[in-house]
Chains A and B, each alone.
Chain A
Amino acid sequence: MDNRFANIFGLTEEQSIALLDTPPEQATDESERYIAASQLANYPSEASINALIRAVNVTYDSLDNRITRRKSVESLGKLKAKQSLEVIRPCLSDTDRYTVEAAVWTIGEIGTENTEILEEITQLLLKPDQAYRVIIHTLVKLNYVAAVDRVRPFMDHEDEPTASAAIATVCRFAQDFSQIDRVVSFLQSDSVNARRACLEDLINARYYAAIPAIARCPISLMFRLRAIRSLADSGIAAGEVSINEVLPVIEQILLDHPNDLDLVHEYDQPPVLEFLIRELYHTDFGRTYLATQTLIEQQSEAVPTALFETYEAEAHNDYGAHYHVMKLMGWLKHQPAYDLLLEALTNTSPQFMKSRAAAALSLGYLGDQRAIAPLQTSAQSNIWMLQYTSLMALEKLGDYSQHKLLLEADDWAVRAKANQVLPGVTTNSTGLMNS
């Protein structure tokens, strides 16, 4: 579980409980109780669970109480609080669809084999305007095979992510892969949501043949890495995927060159530099990758200048554009960006984590030997993608000193990478499954 943002509000358990227990009509600030409910997911104690259960039982009718109640249900799921199951179950018939969705998801997290509850969840598929995708995912998670025929009609749902979830579920439960190509085709959907959503379904279907297509899907590398690593976990365990197949894919994604992606957008006229820079801020990475590809192709001296300017003005504060600036400086081999990249490499703010990995690789592309020492340090961080990209960058700079220090790394991919280059040492898929 990624806990980078766990303590963003810095509330203690006691403070959070006190805020959550404040009657909604007396709360001085409407969002306080909501924040307290989300914060308590980080405190796995009886006191915290009991406070969340009390909050679920507060049915005061207001927007702020509704979102607090919903968040409390979700936090109980994150805490996998079995004792809350009977309090959450009535939420399945709540009139607020998001509360129903949270209850379904939370039951999936807690886990149950109670067929009455599983049927109750399945019956929600017959109710209008529900979060069908979450319901279907939860049925998969709880391995409720008896639901397969009620999931089947959703294979043709007009909402692509819902259809995608249904197809993957039928694949998994009925071992019927006849329509899996439709799920794979969503990797090239115009909609960024459909592109992201189908990854989850390919993971659920355990469809290992999709690994190369996932790597080329134009969405943020974080989504692609998560999917590939999940598929690798189950695929290696099942003996259907080998580490040697997966490692080059992971490297391709970490490198994240737009030419290695199947882009879904195109320009109807040659874009000007100012427009391309603006595109780096877009939340659809399909569009940002098209912009980075075009900026690389232009090979214009104006590009690095524009990147420095946008970094100063906004990108230093925007975790999306920040990443692309770091990548582009490497692809353009722009030597004056050395200090900027070094700063990004050591930026520990959690939202800039992927920029650190990008900076490591770009420092490798710059070829400046001064980067070896800081990259050696980052190779010893506890973030797998930073370790991995640091090793890749150090290889570019001719330094293999860190590989032998990471032969027993905690992360299986880093461990395999470290082992890969040393003569006489071979990777062992059995050993890799220990992480």
Chain B
Amino acid sequence: MKSVVTTVIAAADAAGRFPSTSDLESVQGSLQRAAARMEAAEKLSGNLDNVAKEAYDACIAKYPYLNNAGEANSSETFKTKCMRDVKHYLRLISYSLVVGGTGPLDEWGIAGQREVYRALNLPTGPYVAALSFARNRGCAPRDMSAQALTEYNALVDYVINSLS
């Protein structure tokens, strides 16, 4: 599992050297943000269903015709697709907050997914819309501290960027 720490050590080991000053600075930077990340991970884990549901509800408010009866564009279709995928990515975001790097997202969420979505012609729009809402709905200090929200939003943006 890649993290700032494992990346630094792997690079140092590959070159057969001790960690450099800049290596240590990047690890220290990551450790300094650890408390904020743990706070974000804890709040997210405790509130996963609500975050996913809020994202869905916000999408419905924005695209009310999703409530129209029908097949591909019925709200139920959107909801199930949206909920399952958003929850999956939020879970990986919480792992990444704990690790302090994008390893869990890269290895379990992003690698290969772009190809799968393209090969099977699956829509990426629902989770981009829902994750954008999830990002915009986050509010400090109501949901978490400003620092924790920064960490969380950075990872939400990372997912949006990588999977869109």
Contacts and interface: CB of A to CB of B under 8 A. Distances in A.
B11 to A, nearest CB: 14
A411 interface: no
B121 A3 contact: yes
Interface stretch (B29-37, B60-68, B93-101, B143-151): B60-68
Given A9-B73, A319-B80, A320-B84, A35 B128 contact: yes
A30 B161 CA distance: 13
B118 A105 contact: yes
Nearest to B84: A318
A197 interface: yes
Contacts, number: 115
Interface stretch (A170-178, A344-352, A391-399, A402-410): A344-352
Best-surrounded residue of B84, B113, B161 (most CB of chain A within 10 A):
B84
A34 B128 contact: yes
A31 B123 contact: no
B72 A35 contact: no
A30 B132 contact: yes
Interface in A65-98: 66-67, 70-71, 74, 98
A7 interface: yes
Contacts of B116: 196
B72 A34 contact: no
A193 B70 CA distance: 33
B160 interface: yes
Interface of B: 62-63, 65-66, 68, 70-74, 76-81, 83-84, 88, 107, 111-116, 118-126, 128-129, 132-133, 136, 157, 160-162, 164
B153 to A, nearest CB: 11
18 contacts: A1-B121, A8-B78, A9-B63, A9-B66, A10-B65, A10-B70, A34-B164, A67-B160, A70-B164, A71-B164, A98-B114, A191-B107, A196-B112, A197-B112, A222-B120, A317-B80, A349-B74, A350-B72
Contacts of A213: none
Contact of A7 (B72, B113, B162): B72
Contact of B115 (A67, A134, A350): A134
Interface in A130-188: 131, 133-134, 161
B66 A350 contact: no
Given A133-B115, A349-B77, A2 B164 contact: no
A8 B68 CA distance: 11
A265 to B, nearest CB: 15
Contacts of B161: 63, 66-67, 98
Given A34-B125, A133-B115, A5 B72 contact: yes
Nearest to B85: A283
Contacts of A348: 71
Contacts of A9: 63, 66, 73, 125
Contacts of B112: 161, 192-194, 196-197
A161 B113 CA distance: 12
A383 B3 CA distance: 45
Given A9-B66, A30-B132, A222-B120, A193 B125 contact: no
Given A31-B125, A34-B164, A197-B112, 6 more contacts: A8-B125, A9-B66, A10-B66, A31-B133, A63-B160, A317-B79
